[in-house]
A and B are shown apart, each in its own frame.
Chain A
Amino acid sequence: MAYSTATRQAFADDIATIKEKGLFKEKRFICSPQAAEIEVEYPEGAACKKVLNFCANNYLGFSSHPGVAEAAHAGLDSRGFGMSSVRFICGTQDIHRELQDNVSTFLGMEDTLLFPSCMDANAGVFEAIMGKGDVIIADRLIHASLIDGIRLCSAEYDTFKHMDMKHLKKKLVLHQDKRRRLIVTDGVFSMDGDLCPLDELCDLADEFDTMVLVDDSHASGFIGKTGRGVHEHFGVMDRIDLITTTFGKALGGASGGCVSGRSELVELCRQKARPYLFSNSLSPVIVSATIKVIELLSSTTELRDRLEANTKRFRDGMTEAGLNIRPGVTPIVPVMLYNAKLANDMARDMYAEGIYVIGFFFPVVPEGQARIRVQLSAAHEDEHIDKCVAAFKKVGEKYGILGLDKKGIIEKYGT
């Protein structure tokens, strides 16, 4: 038997090590559609419990939006369930082209290519456009999928301190001898919810003849006055060369992603990006639903406006209650606790109060930066937000952290 007892034990030991380090991810089952209010089976085997969900990427509430679900049904009826092919053999329908065109228009880009996920888009884009003699210069806190994609590419890479434009400039000077340069950043950073200053970054890119790629997965659909993304927020819609983004968050919440940008760069992805060439075409069901999402977002800013109002209500409430939140404007709100056990304990107590949030700690965030990350949605009602703030206040009081700043919390609990 190839899978011997010793082999099984070795893998079991690996799992035990993960548990010992406190990094084991427990199973949680949702027994309802994804929404502001969900039913959760946790721990495994427990009866389903109704809780308010404050940890989904369901920023605009499209995951179970009736109009989007209806469009998905219509797509299923008119174009079927799957394509049973990669895009370039027989996996491209008219609706794939329509979605690509609509995404290009929405993001203000020249062309768009669909991928099974943004993870795949990020895995494929770098090897398609960058090679030996080139350099990729990335913010140190970019998403893991960008890091994986950069590592799959034969170009040299370097990093700059998180959102530090002076440090980026230093790196651009250092790499002036390279054939091509590409700056890579997230638009909104998923753990801190901070916005990359794309206006300053584009100025540097222009000065040093460097291309710019932005992963706007935590921004597309709601950042900027009409929700186009961080490039709209900073008024640089025509100065970004490539955007990668997902349909698995604000833009529907199912799956799928894309590379959108300069037509030559997108064409090279179409010709060379391995996750595009070697994985199945996006399901017509998702394509139809995402077309509907883009249509809805292009006709009204109602949902992104609602999300903005919800974000303000929550941020104001938490500040008033004395919780230590990271300042910002995005619906990603880190409640800073610095200590991993404290973050875990508070998240558990929040669940008991009917609020579903998760603690994050090293290595997901830097050592000593443990937090509970709260994510707002346009689907949240005012009373949901007020209930969440009240629960944080109650749990925060229990642990004696209300009104404490970073220093105070660390003095009390350590890091």
Chain B
Amino acid sequence: MDDVREAVLEYVIDEYIDEDDDLEVDADTALISSGIVDSFSMVSLKAFLENKYDIRIPDEDATPEAFDTVNSIVRIVEKHSS
């Protein structure tokens, strides 16, 4: 799952962090509760995961808590990949 972690982290940085943002993001950085990703723009991340890993994440699993860190996102991908 290290590959997934790396790909998700790369996507999060590219999709949500501006070049002039003075932010360092790693796999444990809070994304939603810290305001880096809001619930509206979270849809882009969900679509990315579904397309890249050919999975469907039901709405009840696509919660702000489940999407709050790259590590928790990796767990969602793992759950729906099996």
- The answer on a CB contact under 8 Å between A159 and B41 is yes
Contacts of B15 in A (CB 8 A): 161
Interface residues on A, range: 10 to 19
Q: Does A363 contact B (CB under 8 A)?
A: yes
Given A367-B34, A367-B35, also A147-B18 (CB < 8 A): no
> Is the C-beta of B38 less than 8 angstroms from some C-beta in chain A?
yes
Chain B residues touching A, range: 10 to 19
Check if B44 is an interface residue, CB within 8 A of chain A.
Answer: yes
Q: Decide: A161 and B35 in contact? CB cutoff 8 A.
A: no
Q: Which residue of B lies closest to A157 (CB)?
A: B43
Q: How many A-B residue pairs have CB under 8 A?
A: 26
For residue B5, give the distance in angstroms from its CB to the closest CB of chain A. 23
A82 within 8 A of B: no
Taking the nearest CB of chain B, how far is it from the CB of A396, in angstroms?
Answer: 24
Nearest B residue to A367 by beta-carbon distance? B35
Q: Is A326 an interface residue (CB 8 A)?
A: no
Chain A stretch 117-162: residues in CB contact (< 8 A) with chain B: 138, 140, 147, 156-159, 161
Q: With A140-B40, A147-B40, A161-B18 known to touch, is A363 a contact of B47 (CB < 8 Å)?
A: no
Is the C-beta of A362 less than 8 angstroms from some C-beta in chain B?
Answer: yes
Q: Is the CB of A363 within 8 A of B35?
A: yes
Partner of A159, one of B34, B35, B36, B43: B43
Q: B34: nearest residue on chain A (CB-CB)?
A: A367
Q: A-side interface residues toward B, CB under 8 Å?
A: 138, 140, 147, 156-159, 161, 164, 362-363, 366-368
Cβ contacts A to B, 26 pairs, < 8 Å: A138-B40, A140-B38, A140-B40, A140-B41, A147-B40, A156-B47, A157-B43, A158-B43, A158-B44, A158-B47, A159-B40, A159-B41, A159-B43, A159-B44, A161-B15, A161-B16, A161-B18, A164-B18, A362-B35, A363-B35, A363-B38, A366-B35, A367-B34, A367-B35, A367-B36, A368-B35
Known interface pairs A158-B47, A368-B35; 12 further A-B residue pairs with C-beta atoms within 8 A, sorted by A's residue number = A138-B40, A140-B40, A156-B47, A159-B44, A161-B16, A164-B18, A362-B35, A363-B38, A366-B35, A367-B34, A367-B35, A367-B36
